[in-house]
Structure 1
Amino acid sequence: MTWDILTVIGVVAFAVSGSIAAMEERYDILGVIILGLVTAFGGGATRNLLLGIPVSNLWEQGNLFVIAITSMFIVFLLPNLWFHFIKQWMFFDAVGLAAFSIQGALFAVDMNLPTIAVIVAALLTGSGGGIIRDLLAGRRPLIFRDEIYGLWAMLVGLVIGLGLVNSPIEFYIVFVLVVLLRMLSVYFGLKLPKKPIYRKKSKKV
């Protein structure tokens, strides 16, 4: 039940975030559908490729495709007045990140993979679709921007991989915490350390 609920939440959230990103870039309805689908299913497909799971498994999720496309059409058909209140797609991306990172970690645990593989599965499932979305939209992926993003997915993989979270209620608590931490990262501009390298300007002769 936990798996199914998190999967549906992640699919809807990422389908909506992909649709909003497409509309912000002024894509047509086909572009909205394509960007929404790759956002919703790209992370899971990337994870499956890494873990050696047949890509054909993706097409066994017929109901999820219907849910994703329905969500995208609802967003596309909303009047601009209502769209103004939901266009902050950072929230939907945070929800998708939380739901899919937990789902990816559980997927790896079910395969009896080591903790490092659980962390990678959580990261790829939680952020893979968003990376593909941003690349197709001509944006720098969120995972590489200033505010902390991928770290929260990796922490999810760590706690689940170490067996610190087991019951459904604990998974939902982790879900809420990841959404809150991601949104707080954006609100307060929380960043990981970085060290940019600047090239010296050559003197003109």
Structure 2
Amino acid sequence: MVLTALELLGLVAFAASGALAAVRARLDVFGVIVVGLTTALGGGIIRDVLLGIHPPTTLRNWPYLAVCAATALIVFAFHPQVARLRRAVLLADALGLGVFATAGTTIALNAGATAYAACLIGMTSGIGGGALRDLLLREIPLVLRKEIYAVAALAGAVLVAIGHALPLPSGAVTVVAAAVVVTIRLVALWRHWNAPVARPGDTDSL
């Protein structure tokens, strides 16, 4: 029950972030809903496709679609007010990243994936929706440009894989790993940490 509630909160956060990005890009209401749904559900759909789960889980459970679509519509209607809740949206987004990365890793391990594959699939579950959002809006995905985002998701996925190998109680491991992801993400935002990029002069000869 707790994990389901956290997952729904993560879906709402991802749908809201996608819808806000679509509003800023001046998309119409249909475009806002599509980008919101893609951001929220994209990572889980990629995970299920990689694991051979057909149709993907989120497409078989209508509440997931309904919650995400409703969130996108609310953002479309009240986007000035939602934009002012930037810190709350970032916190919920970090929580969603932690939940989806760790839950995705657990699902992959339970489906028989190796620890290596499960970690990559878990990370993709967390960041996939955001990457698809940026591609739809014709931008280089944020996770490839700046911010500690994918690294945080991968750290949580690795912790889940380690807990599975020991073995430790899966529920407790998932919660702890998700908390680690959220902590890394929030500290990175607070401290303005970014992954290193090449200096302009380093690419002159390429």
Q: What is the TM-score of this pair, normalised by structure 2?
A: 0.85
Distance 1:102 1:53 in 2: 18
Distance in 2 (CA, whole Å) between partners of 1:35 and 1:25 is 11
- Which residues in structure 2 correspond to 1:126-205 (within 5 Å)? 126-163=126-163, 166=169, 168-195=171-198, 197-200=202-205
Q: Deviations over 1:59-110 (max 9, x none)?
A: 2121111111122222222263x23422465444323211211120111122
* Alignment-derived partner of residue 83 in structure 1: 82
Superposed CA deviations along residues 135-176 of structure 1, whole A, max 9, x for unmatched, are 111222121122211011111111111116635455334333
**Paired amino acid for 2:26:** R
Corresponding residue number in structure 2 for 1:36: 36
Q: Deviations over 1:5-54 (max 9, x none)?
A: 33212211111111111111121111110000001111111112222222
Q: State the SS of the aligned residue for 2:97.
A: helix
**Structure 2 spans left out of the alignment, 5+ residues:** none
**Cα separation, 2, equivalents of 1:183 and 1:190:** 10
In structure 1, runs of 5+ residues without a counterpart are none
Identity percentage of aligned residues: 30
The residue type equivalent to 2:74 in the other structure is: I
Q: TM-score, normalised by structure 1?
A: 0.85
- How many residues are paired up? 200
Q: Distance in 1 between matches of 2:197 and 2:79?
A: 41
One-letter code aligned to 2:107 = F
8 Å contact from structure 1 (residues 185, 191) kept in 2 = yes
Higher Rg of the two aligned structures? 1
Classify 1:138/1:32 alpha carbon distance in 2 versus 1 (closer, same or farther; 3 Å).
Answer: same
Aligned to 1:102: 102
CA distance in 1, matches of 2:96, 2:54: 23
* Equivalent residues of 1:108, 1:118 under 8 A apart: yes
Give, in whole Å, the separation in 2 of the partners of 1:113 and 1:84: 39
Structure 2 CA distance for partners of 1:152 and 1:56, relative to 1, 3 Å:
closer
